[in-house]
Amino acid sequence: MAIVSATEMINKAHEGHYAIPAFNTNNLEWTQCILKAVEETKTPVMIQTSEGAAKYMGGYKLVVDMVNDLIDSMGITVPVALHLDHGSYEGALKCIEVGYSSVMFDGSHFDIDENLKKSKEIIDLAHSKGVSVECEVGGIGGTEDGVTSSGELADPAECKAVADLGVDFLAAGIGNIHGKYPENWAGLNFDRLAEIKEATNNKPLVLHGGSGIPFEQTSKAITLGVSKININTELQLVFADATRKYIEAGKDLEGKGYDPRKLLKPGADAIVAKAVELCKAFGAAGKA
């Protein structure tokens, strides 16, 4: 199966009250681990790259080819969408051109009129090519790819304006933060989420910064219209932790323990285990 647009899987998740896990990938092993986890749990998935991660891996085209080739060589049967995360205008255009099946245009740093104008252009172009689109209103707290956003609660009226453009799913700040949550984090703002759901006439919503949010909160967010949950940091943390333990135990110094296929194995196993746990927690396991 080749990569598919995310529209159908997100709409099904929205109707069925679960959320599609959207895992950020960083390299070949990461992508293999995500695919292994979703095939094992029969989960429809979005694999996403930031612009920085795609550049790190060798470019958008390489990512498209890598994901398509892995789907083929690993015999993946579940629907997989390849999505650009926090795309610039130029990045979104490029990804549509080279074969991403879904793009996010993040115009949240523009004023709302400029955000609306550019979002509309990307939506029209993407839809003409069967590519799904996510847009963002207001900022998501935290730092990602060097971009820091301080806005945390999106304005429901602005959300309505972007939803009315025909975007497929909408990212809106509800107190969520990229990266690790601070000890004193106030939690998701469900009142604001309910207002956004109402204002956007029940548009599928995206929860960024999905790493480390207690599952009671993600489950409640799903009941209020969240249909895609983004995960990056959590897989990075379990990978780093397992790799550190391997090295601290001196395993890289035993036999050929320095071979990357051995050195990266504990981290890879940890990514698969965490991704499986999240697919189940978001209710998406078994939905492919």
Catalytic residues: 85
Given the complex with ligand 13P, which of 119 and 246 has the nearer CB atom?
A: 119
Compute CA distances 52 → 59, 102, 191, 214, whole Å: 9, 17, 34, 28
Would you say 213 or 246 has its CB closer to ligand 13P? 213
Sequence-separated (6 or more) residues with CB below 8 Å from residue 123: 105, 133, 135, 165, 166, 167
Task: For ligand 13P, give the closer residue by CB, 179 or 257.
Answer: 179
102 binds ligand 13P (CB under 6 A): no
The only residue of 43, 49, 102, 211 in contact with ligand 13P, by rule CB under 6 A:
211
User: In a 10 Å sphere around its CB, with 0-12 CB exposed, 13-18 middle and 19+ buried, how is residue 26 labelled?
Assistant: buried
231 contributes a contact to ligand 13P by CB under 6 A: yes
Decide: is 179 part of the binding site for ligand 13P (CB under 6 A). Answer: yes
Cβ-contact 267, 239 below 8 angstroms: yes
Burial 106-119 (b: 16+ CB within 10 A, else e): bbbeeebeebbebb
x/- track of binding to ligand 13P for residues 103-142 (CB under 6 A): ----------------------------------------
Angle between helices 156-163 and 112-128 (to 10 degrees): 30
CB of 24 to ligand 13P, least distance (A): 6
Does 232 sit near ligand 13P (CB under 6 A)? yes
Residue 167 has which token pair? 């975007």
- DSSP secondary structure letter of residue 153: B
208 binds ligand 13P (CB under 6 A): yes
Residue type present at position 56? Y
Decide if residue 234 touches ligand 13P (CB under 6 A).
yes
Using CB under 6 A, count the residues that bind ligand 13P.
14
Closest approach of Cβ 261 to ligand 13P, in Å?
27
Which parts of this chain interact with ligand 13P (CB under 6 A)?
24, 85-86, 178-179, 208-211, 230-234
